Amino acid sequence: MEVDVAGKKMEVLLSPEIIDQRVQELGAAITRDYQDKELVLITVLKGSVIFAADLARAIPLPLTMEFMGLSSYGDDTKSTGVVRVTLDLSKPIEGKHVLIVEDIVDTGLTMQYLLRNMKTRNPASVGVCTLLHKPARQSVDVPLDYVGFTIDDHFVVGYGLDYQQKYRNLSFIGHMVDS
């Protein structure tokens, strides 16, 4: 289905209802797997914040949340391959069970960097939950414990994902048809 967003044609790939249903399923699986463990959700900013908020509400455990800012895209539609830390964690994660919440894993380079970084902080465990996985662009293998959706090689926006910092607020995930 195509929609018009401020003069841009977008194809809706994942509707709000489909996203919500999958987030609830991921939350149930995470709840089951982390029962009786001290869970810290590490949200990768900025793109994962909407997903992480919905996911946290779907996990009825006494979890804590931390935020980490990483950049590998700038304002482009392709990863530069160079990862910059723009915001670090505010609390130590030593001895805790960490679940990294990411919006999309495509090349895997950012996640590879983040997993290495987290392991140096001595957590009890490190897992990954990504809303989207784009295997067509993957250049390094990274473990993904929870995957919301596997998508084709489209540059997607909405539900936190952006193009030049815009379109994060869309309730659906789609791609621009006329760009």
Residue from 103, 112, 89, 118 nearest 151 by CA: 103
Could you tell me which residues come within 8 angstroms of residue 114 by beta carbon, excluding any fewer than 6 positions away?
Answer: 44, 68, 70, 83, 100
**pLDDT recorded at residue 172:** 97
Residue 54 near residue 23 (C-beta atoms within 8 A):
yes
Domains of the chain, with CATH numbers? 2-74+90-165 (3.40.50.2020)
Whether residue 155 is predicted with pLDDT greater than 70 in this model: the reply is yes
Predicted confidence (pLDDT) per residue in 73-92, tens digit: 555 555 556 788 888 899 99
What number is the average pLDDT over the span 106-135?
95
pLDDT the model gives residue 103: 97
- Of residues 91, 89, 92, 20, the one with CA closest to residue 57: 20
Alpha helices in 38-177 (DSSP H): 49-57, 109-119
pLDDT of 179 higher than 80: no
Of the residues 54, 103, 106, 162, only one is catalytic, namely 106
Q: What is the mean pLDDT of residues 113-119?
A: 95
Q: Is 88 a catalytic residue?
A: no
pTM: 0.91
Q: What percent of the chain has pLDDT over 70?
A: 94
pLDDT in tens, 16-55: 999 999 999 999 999 999 999 999 999 999 999 999 999 9
Cβ-in-10-Å burial (0-12, 13-18, 19+) of 154 comes to middle
Per-chain mean pLDDT for the chain: 92
Q: What is the arithmetic mean of pLDDT over 52-64?
A: 97
Indicate if the alpha-carbon torsion angle 105, 109, 114, 116 is positive or negative.
positive
Which is more confidently placed, 8 or 159? 159
CB of 153 within 8 A of CB of 124? no
